[in-house]
């Protein structure tokens, strides 16, 4: 891809060409100007993998653990490597711009995209994001921190007005972006869908000026997909690129706005210049325009994914040293998440993986296993695609596209694909030689039950659909459709039909689907992504009481028991928030009953954000395993059997119940607004201020060994606070400890949190080994708060406490330092 002279090209562009450059060409690409040698560049989601240019039937990709899992590593070097890895995956997918990392703040456990962000703490989020961005940039790929700013819920996400004080905005919600930009100077940033204090961010000069004027950031500012709401206001405020294309707000409308002086020519030139600079920077990657997509999936990549997933796992409890398990003894594997590879949450973060490993598969590789289902965890019936067969016996189904519905004779076959993924979101699918969003699809495959029994089949659509078994209509989702959460909130609720099936008999499954325009309802989602979608699920019906009894019986017969439970992309996904913190139905009953039968049972949870654990006091061994990416099952097994000594720490507080969360009264949109009433008291800041203990504290995480902290010294200069101490492995295994440094203002002039994380470092030590750990913290960032009276940061004169420990609760060393003079400052 050729280099360009930005100013020379800018001088030669026509008004129409300038307008075209400020909007996407299609869903993933910018516009090109061939006559001036300006190529199109490609974007791709992020943040935990690089999907490529298609949500539907995309190129397989590597899936890293979700962002909360990455946050749990507390490891800047590892996040740097994650960035480099994603940069290499971006090159394989021909993507010049990676749409990540996500660095919004988890105000509440209910946020549908909470799993996409690193932490409730802005310092941890921003520090990790900076290293992630640096790693991506070392591969000459452009990272895109998102979503700037306060995109912290899914409910009415395009319309909600986030009402937040200037102090909380600066100290909590902008801080991750501030730190990432200071550290890495990423060349792109994505704006949020929502309003902040009355104005959509994409057209808020107040918010964008913080980036451009306060922080002196120079880069490409793009909208979230369909997150542009105006022509003149957005251009004048500083939004460079409307995504995706084709444009809704620019093009001819933008040309008219310029000729009528609603937008001054030099302002448009600023927007175009930013796009051209991004194109010029992208040329360094060596990725050709419209490059072919391919996979990597190298052996070293698989090892890396396994390592990252293992280092993210948090050992919450281990009373009596139940863990690690003995490989030479049989393990009873129980629970809804055991045989399902729960690799990520749903929405923009999801992708088609190269492969995936379930916990059952991981444990089976390392020990003899007996299994009992116990309960299901799905919200919608499990995807059926891999359980269907094509005519040649391979896994999958036929996907045939027509111009007219099945009842019309002589309809034209437009395309024929063979797929394995029965979640078919066709938002970016282009039917060959066909331009209408209205078309019809026949899905057909063979289903062979493994057991006799009643089977449920489910159909979710954004459009209309009917499901047949051996030409018998089983499910109709055409009339009187109910609103659901699939397809970014645009799909129906799942409609289910049931049928008795015989083990080993082959049944023909057929679905007749019409795309979005066929839907009878006039209701449309706030963002209508493409032509609609189709989801086919199914499984044998489970008798919950009997399934639990079977699991309890097995647990009583075996010494070693592991229960795998949690959430999945049905429950945590872009487009909708969680209704509560609960595990899926029957899961709490299953866990409680198994613990009664075998108190030493190990509970392993997978979720991106906290879940309620009414049985936690009874559990002696408890593991938080997040959504672990391709290698989730192997990594979990590595920790359970002690191949890997767990070292993860919670990047967010786990409340005892939802009502204890600081955002409980103010989460979700109420008549178009969300009041950030907890102010700066997010997460552990809230629990400590109110002296209300969470179930598990921020920064908590156990190990199979023990560590001691000693010999703390603290010194200061005009710019830094230097911390030194000794960390010793006092246990019987090699392992890693995360040294966490918190700062506390002793006599502040306003209310401040009890303490705030301002430094951390992960240290790997052999048995008996010690290390001298040194950290230099920026003095301004470690001590300042936002002075709303001066509209500036203030580093206030006085004494400060410095507290060092291995969680926000357990502090092992304390020191003090003094700020001799009050200083106000701005910028970075």
Whole-number Å distance between alpha carbons of 426 and 424: 6
Tokens found for residue 201? 């961010």
Tokens found for residue 275? 């796009």
Whole-number Å distance between alpha carbons of 283 and 390: 43
Among 88, 78, 82, 187, which Cα is nearest to 143's?
Answer: 187
Q: Could you give phi then psi for residue 677, rounded to 5 degrees?
A: -70, -20
Structure-derived torsion over alpha carbons of residues 306, 805, 611, 144, reported in degrees to the nearest 10: -60
Whole-number Å distance between alpha carbons of 67 and 75: 13
What b/e string do you get for 521-550 counting C-beta neighbours within 10 Å, with b at 16 or more? eeeebebbbbbbbbbbbbbeebeeeebbee
Structure-derived torsion over alpha carbons of residues 386, 391, 394, 397, reported in degrees to the nearest 10: -30
In this structure, how many other beta carbons lie within 10 angstroms of the beta carbon of residue 629?
28
Whole-number Å distance between alpha carbons of 153 and 111: 5
Among 99, 98, 95, 93, which Cα is nearest to 58's?
Answer: 93
Structure-derived torsion over alpha carbons of residues 748, 749, 753, 754, reported in degrees to the nearest 10: 30
What pairs with residue 73 in β-bridges?
A: none
Q: Are 463 and 513 in contact (CB under 8 A)?
A: yes
Whole-number Å distance between alpha carbons of 207 and 213: 10
Tokens found for residue 383? 């995807």
CA distance to 149, 174, 522, 667, per residue, from 169 (Å): 9, 6, 38, 16
Characterize the bridge pairing of strands 314-318 and 220-222: unpaired
Q: Are 538 and 384 in contact (CB under 8 A)?
A: yes
> Burial, 233: exposed, middle or buried (Cβ in 10 Å; 0-12, 13-18, 19+)?
buried
In this structure, how many other beta carbons lie within 10 angstroms of the beta carbon of residue 16?
11
DSSP string, 595-653: HHH-TT-EEEEE-SS----TTTTT-SEEEE-----TTHHHHHHHHHTTSS------SS-
Residues identified as active-site:
224
Whole-number Å distance between alpha carbons of 101 and 65: 13
Whole-number Å distance between alpha carbons of 587 and 625: 17
Whole-number Å distance between alpha carbons of 391 and 416: 14
Distance of CA 269 to the CA centre of its chain: 35
The DSSP 8-state label assigned to residue 56 in this structure reads S
Tokens found for residue 705? 């060994």
Distance of CA 216 to the CA centre of its chain: 28
Whole-number Å distance between alpha carbons of 259 and 653: 54
Classified as helix, coil or strand, 8 is: helix
CA distance to 45, 277, 438, 515, per residue, from 441 (Å): 27, 42, 10, 8
Total H helices, total E strands in the chain? 19, 36
Tokens found for residue 167? 């102090």
Whole-number Å distance between alpha carbons of 490 and 481: 12
């Amino acid at each position: 891809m050729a280099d360009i002279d930005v100013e020379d090209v800018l001088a030669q562009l026509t008004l129409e060409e300038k307008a075209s450059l400020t909007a996407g060409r299609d869903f993933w690409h910018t516009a090109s100007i061939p006559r001036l040698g300006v190529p199109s560049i490609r974007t791709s989601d992020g943040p935990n993998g690089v999907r490529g240019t298609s949500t539907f039937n995309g190129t397989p990709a590597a899936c890293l653990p979700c962002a909360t899992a990455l946050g749990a590593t507390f490891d800047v070097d590892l996040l740097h490597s994650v960035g480099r890895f994603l940069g290499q995956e971006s090159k394989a997918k021909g993507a010049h711009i990676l749409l990540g990392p996500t660095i919004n703040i988890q105000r509440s456990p209910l946020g549908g995209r909470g799993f996409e962000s690193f932490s409730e703490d802005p310092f941890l989020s921003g520090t990790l994001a900076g290293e992630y961005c640096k790693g991506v940039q070392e591969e000459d790929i452009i990272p895109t921190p998102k979503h700037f700013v306060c995109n912290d819920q899914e409910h009415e996400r395009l319309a909600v007005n986030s009402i937040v004080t200037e102090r909380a905005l600066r100290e909590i919600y902008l801080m991750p972006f501030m730190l990432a930009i200071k550290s890495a100077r990423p060349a792109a940033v994505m704006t949020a869908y929502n309003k902040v204090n009355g104005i959509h961010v994409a057209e808020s000069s107040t918010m964008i000026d913080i980036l451009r004027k306060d922080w002196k950031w120079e880069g490409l500012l793009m909208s979230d997909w369909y997150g542009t709401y105006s022509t003149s206001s957005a251009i004048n405020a500083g939004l460079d690129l409307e995504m995706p294309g084709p444009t809704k707000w620019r093009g001819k409308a933008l040309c008219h706005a310029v000729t009528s002086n609603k937008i001054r020519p030099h302002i448009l030139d600023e927007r175009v210049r930013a796009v051209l600079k991004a194109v010029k920077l992208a040329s360094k990657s060596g990725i050709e325009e419209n490059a072919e997509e391919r996979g990597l999936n190298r052996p070293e990549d698989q090892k890396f994914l396994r390592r990252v997933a293992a280092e993210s796992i948090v050992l919450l409890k281990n009373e009596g040293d139940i863990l690690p398990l003995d490989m030479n003894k049989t393990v009873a594997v129980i629970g809804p998440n055991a045989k399902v590879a729960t690799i990520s949450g749903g929405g923009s973060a999801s992708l088609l993986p190269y492969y995936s490993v379930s916990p059952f598969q991981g444990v089976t590789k390392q020990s003899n296993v007996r299994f009992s289902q116990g309960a299901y965890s799905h919200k919608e019936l499990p995807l059926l695609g891999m359980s269907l067969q094509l005519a040649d016996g391979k896994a999958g189904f036929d996907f045939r596209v027509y111009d007219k519905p099945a009842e019309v004779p002589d309809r034209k076959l437009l395309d024929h694909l063979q797929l394995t993924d029965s979640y078919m979101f066709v938002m970016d699918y282009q039917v060959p030689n066909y331009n209408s969003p209205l078309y019809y699809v026949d899905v057909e495959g063979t289903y062979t039950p493994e057991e006799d029994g009643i089977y449920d089949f489910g159909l979710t659509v954004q459009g209309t659909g009917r499901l047949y078994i051996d030409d018998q209509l089983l499910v109709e989702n055409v009339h009187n459709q109910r609103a659901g959460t699939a397809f970014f909130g645009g799909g129906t609720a799942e409609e289910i039909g049931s049928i008795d099936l015989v083990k080993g008999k082959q049944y023909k499954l057929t679905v007749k689907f019409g795309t979005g325009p066929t839907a009878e309802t006039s209701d449309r989602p706030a963002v209508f992504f493409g032509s609609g979608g189709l989801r086919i699920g199914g499984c044998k019906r489970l008798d919950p009481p009997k399934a639990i009894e079977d699991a309890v019986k097995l647990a009583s017969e075996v010494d070693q028991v592991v229960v795998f439970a949690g959430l999945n992309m049905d429950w945590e996904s872009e487009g909708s928030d969680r209704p509560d913190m609960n595990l899926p139905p029957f899961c709490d009953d299953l866990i409680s009953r198994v613990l009664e039968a075998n108190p030493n049972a190990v509970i392993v949870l997978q979720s991106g954000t906290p879940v309620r654990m009414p049985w936690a006091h009874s559990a002696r061994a408890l593991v938080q395993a997040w959504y672990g990416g391709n290698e989730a099952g192997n990594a979990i097994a590595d920790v359970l059997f002690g191949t890997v000594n767990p070292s993860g720490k919670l990047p967010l507080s786990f409340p005892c119940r939802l009502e204890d969360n600081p955002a409980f009264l103010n989460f979700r949109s109420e008549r178009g607004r969300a009041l950030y009433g907890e102010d700066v008291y997010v997460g552990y800041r809230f629990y400590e201020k109110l002296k209300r203990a969470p179930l598990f504290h921020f920064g908590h995480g156990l190990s199979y060994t023990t560590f001691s902290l000693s010999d703390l010294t603290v010194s200061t200069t005009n710019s830094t606070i230097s911390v030194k101490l000794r960390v010793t492995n006092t246990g019987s295994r090699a392992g890693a400890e995360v040294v966490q440094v918190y700062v506390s203002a002793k006599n502040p002039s306003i209310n401040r949190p009890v303490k705030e994380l301002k430094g951390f470092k992960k240290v790997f030590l052999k048995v008996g080994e010690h290390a001298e750990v040194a950290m230099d913290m920026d003095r301004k960032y470690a001590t300042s708060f936002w002075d709303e009276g001066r509209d500036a940061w203030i580093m206030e004169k006085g004494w400060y406490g410095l507290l060092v420990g291995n969680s926000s609760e357990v502090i092992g060393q304390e020191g003090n330092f003094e700020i001799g003079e009050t200083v106000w400052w701005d910028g970075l």
